[in-house]
Structure formats: C-alpha cells, structure tokens
Structure 1
Amino acid sequence: MLVSCVSGAQLSNYATFLTDPHMAPLSIVMTSLSTASAVFFTPTLSYLLIGKKLPVDVVGMMSSIVQIVVAPIAAGLLLNRFLPRLCSAIQPFLPPLSVFVTALCVGSPLAINIKAVLSPYGLSIVFLLFAFHTTSFVAGYHLAGTWFRKSADVKALQRTISFETGMQSSLLALALANRFFPDPLVGVPPAVSVCLLLPKAPPVAFISALSMNCFDYSLSNVT
C-alpha cells in the first residue's frame, strides 16, 4: 500500500531519456508535480488505505516528506544557482554515492528480515509487487493511448506516461516505513520494490526503444 501511495521515481526520467529524449522534459515535469503533490497525497492516501489497520501520523509524514524530498531538491537548485563551481566539482562523486546509500537503505530491511523475505510470505510480496509494477506500466501505456490517441506523437507519449505510472519512488516509501512503522517487516515491500525496479527499468526501456525502431522501420518500408 505504501509503495502505491508515493510519487513517481526519477528513474522514469532516465528511462524516457533513453527511449524518447524529446519527451524527457515532460517526464521531468510529471515527476516534479507528483513529487510536490506527494507532500499532501502520500500521507492522505496512506491514512485512507492503511489507517484502519495501522496508525498513520499524517502530519508527521508531511513533515518527513518535506525534509526527505522537498528540502534536498530546493537546496540542490539553490546550490546550482549560486554555487555552480561547487556543484560541478562534486557532481562526479554523486552517482556512486547515491548507489552506495541506496544499497545501504535497501539492504538493511532485507538483511534484518531475511528469513521472512525467503519464506512464502516474502515470495508472495515479490509476486504482488511485480504484478503491481507490471500492471501500472501496462495501464499507463494503454490509458495514454486512449486519451491521447489523436496526438501526433502518441506512441512516445504512451511510453513516457507508462514509465511514470510504473515506477514509484520506493525509497521514499522505505524511508517512511522505517520512520513511522515500528515493525521492520513494513520496510520489506518498499525494499523489494527497489530491487525489482532497478533491474526492470533498463529492459523496459530497451524493449520500448526496440519496438519504436521496428515500427519506424516497417513504416518506412510501407511508404
């Protein structure tokens, strides 16, 4: 439930850039809007969906999302605006640092609950999350095709929206799970979601790009 309540992941921007570079600005705008709205919608949806079974601190979640998401983004924008040389100097070190921190965040709940993860309970979580992300990819693709069928570049738009709906900010869900739910098992689904999305995104982008190239090739043969 918590994974489904968070905003879109920045990984969708990268996947869109690989398949449809001209759609990357749209992807960034959608992710930015979903991230900004997460301050309100994530705690509210969590309360509505989880509140009957677990206590949900709505105000605390709002404050944490501001600290975890909004504040770092604002700080990064300000640093890039007023201290561009500093940003250029530290930029090469940020990707490996982010990978290292992500590995620590994901590995911790998985290591603590390794027996539960390897049990039938853990396998059911993996299956449910795989089905959730796959359904989100497919639903976003087909709904976009229905709503924007008259668009000149509908296929690229479908892929972009599919990436946005299929990739959630599972690390945010993991941070909220660790902060507001004492049971460490609550952090397992977001951690598993991260593990599923990281290897899943490149193949999805590759398949999308391959289908796009095949479509363009067949179209050129027809014309």
Structure 2
Amino acid sequence: MGVISPVETLFLKSQHRLLLLQPRDYSHPLVLHNTRRHFANFPRNNSFSSSSLGSCSVDFPVRSNPISQRCKDGNSSYPWRRYVSESDTNEMYHKKVSIMETLKQANSFIPHAILSSTILALLYPPSFTWFKPRYFVPGLGFMMFAVGINSNERDFLEALKRPDAIFAGYIGQYLIKPLLGYLFGVISVSLFNLPTSIGAGIMLVSCVSGAQLSNYTTFLTDPSLAPLSIVMTSVSTATAALVTPMLSLLLIGKKLPVDVVGMISSILQVVVTPIAAGLLLNRLFPRLSNAIKPFLPALTVIDMGCCIGAPLALNIDSILSPFGATILFLVITFHLLAFVAGYFFTGFFFSKAPDVKALQRTISYETGMQSSLLALALATKFFQDPLVGVPPAISTVVMSLMGVSLVTIWKNRKE
C-alpha cells in the first residue's frame, strides 16, 4: 500500500468519474486503456489518503464485472461518488418489462371480461345501456384494427391462394348454419311452444354473415390463418345483402328488406377500413405501430366487454322473461352444433392438408360465430315484434363465450 500525491488522486477521480458516466459499458476501450495504462502498477484495492479529499477504496473494473465503489467519509460527501447499483437498475427494468408483458397478455382475460360483462349487464343494466347500438360498428371496427396492425399484406395475398378453404367457410356460413337455424326455429315453436317471433329470431341469427369476432379468435389461436378468416368473413359479409334476404324469405317465410348502401357502409367501417388502417400503420410507421401494439390487447378486452354487455342490458326485460331460459338453451345448442359441424366438415374434406387442424379450428369459428349484432339491428329495424331481437341478443353473448372458451382449450392443447 503506497501513498500517492494529490495530483495523482485527482487524476484517479477523473478516471473513475469517466467510468461512472457509462455504468453498463464496462468494455469501453478508452476507459480500459487509460485505466490500465496509468494504474497498471497499483495493487487491486489501493487505499489513498489526503487530508483535504478524504479516503477511498476503489475496485478497478474488468470486462465481465460491474463497477464496485466503496467510499467512506465521516465529514462530508462528494457529488462524484453518486452511484446507482445494478440491482436498482434491474428492478426498474424488470418492472417496465412486467407491465408490457401484462398488457400483451391481456388477451388471456377475454373469457373473464365476457363473463363479467354478462353478469354485470344482468345484475345492473344501466352499466351498459350507455353503449348504444350506434357504437357497435366502431367497437367491432377497433377489433379489426387490432388484427390488421398485427398482420401483413402478404398474409392476405397468401389467403387468396386458398379458394377451396374460403369456399368451405362460405358453405359453413350459408348452408350448414342456416339449416341448423331452421331446425331450431321450428323446434322452438312446435316443441317448446314459444312465440313464432322467437323462432324467427333464431332463424334470423343463422341467416346473417360471419362475425368479425371469429377473426379475432382465429388470430388468438392460429395467427397465420387470421387473414384467411378475415377473407372468409369479408366474402360472407359482402354477399349478405343478397344472401341474407333470400335465406330469410326461405326460412322465415317473409321478405326481409336490407339497406344495400348501409350494408356496404358497414362492411367498409367494420372490416375494410380498420384492417387497411392497421396494415398501413404497420407498413409506413413501424415505430408508432410497435408503440401501440402492447396496449391493443387490453383495449380490445374492454371494447369486447362493452359489445357483449350492451345487447343484454338493452334487452334485459325479454331475456329475464319466463321463456328466457328456454331460449338460452336453444341458442346454446344451436351454436354448439354449428361449431362441431364446422370442425368435422373441414376435417373430412381437408384431411390431407398439412395444416388441417388449424384449418378445422378456423372454419369452426366461422361456422359457429356470426354477426349477431347485425341480426339484432335487422330485427330492431325490420320487425315490429321486439321478441325477434331476443335470440340475437342472447346469441351475442353465447357465441362469444363459446368462442373464447374454444380459444383457451385449443391454445392449451397446442402448447
């Protein structure tokens, strides 16, 4: 141990201060060169003293170890001794990461959000009555924006290369599901003695296009097939202006007028515009896109809860009527058979496809989930009997709960 001069002490402090400027970059060549060149002959833990500067013990850094500094001074403290421990830095870093991860994993709370919004809407309807039907389209559009910003335009071009799968989804939407809807509509009237308007409401649910929520559930289960699901839903929605009135006339027995201009506007608002906005944002402003992405799952959960709870709250009187439990049973069974039929139908015709399981899940979502909000809007606008809107309102909750439950089951099986 040797005593060094005050000049050498000041130089030592200047070199140490340089090290503290970049506490994580210990391999900086200038720092290492100067430190080792000027103090190579000093022992590792030199103690030096000065009557005016106090005493310190300094550990010189190496490439693999952080700076360790120990200073003691009973009389005063010096600004250059400021030091942030690596444990504090790691704590702040991990706290930031944990918040981001929590936001990204918010999708896992979708079943809880749907169930909670359902219970809250039934127990306290005013909590959702503020979410008027005019908010449904923007709400669904936000979900599509979340899917678009996490997708790539090349994914959609690849989806168009599978016309057989798109046609299979179309068959599930407009053939398998309407047949099941007609069957349960007849059963509700003839077997359970429900009003004719209830049977018409079940049939109306089976006649509308695919639900945009099916795109989101596909995205959660099989992200690579989300563009294919969007194309399926877009095709069924684009043709709904012609197919839905024809099926309604065939199944319900009366013509159901549809506002073609309004339908086109709905397609643009709910599907095309949000998806295109997400894709463009992802392509032109990647930094902004990456900054937004972590917050979308949590916002989507809130949005979905509102879209689920509002139809229940707005139709609470009819849902809690004496025949409400019977309607619930019929709607649950209808959706369950639609999910199962879509799954096994796809497995039979695409048994040799390399991604048959993922395709089965995708078309099962497309067959079992439809735009019940659209059916509810049509029932409110084109039918005078309010009971026609009860099955669509219940269907909105049932198909959402069943869809997200399948997401949980299938994701666990994949993992």
Indicate the residue corresponding to 1:36 in structure 2: 234
Distance 2:207 2:220 in 1: 20
Preserved contact between residue 208 and residue 371 of structure 2 (Cα < 8 Å): no
Q: How does 1:45-124 map to 2 (within 5 A)?
A: 45-50=243-248, 52-124=254-326
Between stretches 109-118 and 128-137, larger displacement belongs to: 128-137
Preserved contact between residue 12 and residue 163 of structure 1 (Cα < 8 Å): yes
More helix by share: 1
Indicate the residue corresponding to 1:6 in structure 2: 209
Matched, 1:162 2:364: yes
Q: How does 1:169-184 map to 2 (within 5 A)?
A: 169-171=371-373, 173=375, 176-177=377-378, 180-181=381-382
Q: Please tell me the residue identity of whatever aligns with 1:5.
A: V
Preserved contact between residue 372 and residue 392 of structure 2 (Cα < 8 Å): yes
Q: Is the radius of gyration larger for structure 1 or structure 2?
A: 2
Distance 2:242 2:302 in 1: 31
Preserved contact between residue 144 and residue 161 of structure 1 (Cα < 8 Å): yes
Task: Tell me: CA distance 1:106–1:177, structure 2 relative to 1, closer, same or farther (3 Å).
Answer: farther
SS in 2 for 1:134: helix
Indicate the residue corresponding to 2:114 in structure 1: none
Size of the aligned set, in residue pairs, is 205
Task: Tell me: CA distance 1:95–1:179, structure 2 relative to 1, closer, same or farther (3 Å).
Answer: farther
Q: CA deviation at 1:117?
A: 0.8
Q: CA deviation at 1:119?
A: 1.6
Q: Please tell me the residue identity of whatever aligns with 1:196.
A: V
Task: Tell me: CA distance 1:61–1:125, structure 2 relative to 1, closer, same or farther (3 Å).
Answer: farther
Q: How does 1:123-142 map to 2 (within 5 A)?
A: 123-142=325-344
Distance 1:73 1:210 in 2: 28
Distance 1:152 1:94 in 2: 32
SS in 2 for 1:10: helix
Between stretches 128-137 and 150-159, larger displacement belongs to: 150-159
SS in 2 for 1:192: helix
Q: Please tell me the residue identity of whatever aligns with 2:292.
A: I
Distance 2:227 2:395 in 1: 23
Preserved contact between residue 6 and residue 169 of structure 1 (Cα < 8 Å): yes
Distance 1:106 1:91 in 2: 23
Between stretches 162-171 and 63-72, larger displacement belongs to: 162-171
| Structure 1 unaligned regions, length at least 5 | 18-23, 214-223
Indicate the residue corresponding to 1:221 in structure 2: none
Preserved contact between residue 372 and residue 396 of structure 2 (Cα < 8 Å): yes
RMSD: 3.2
| Structure 2 unaligned regions, length at least 5 | 1-203
TM-score, normalisation: structure 1: 0.72
Distance 2:378 2:304 in 1: 15
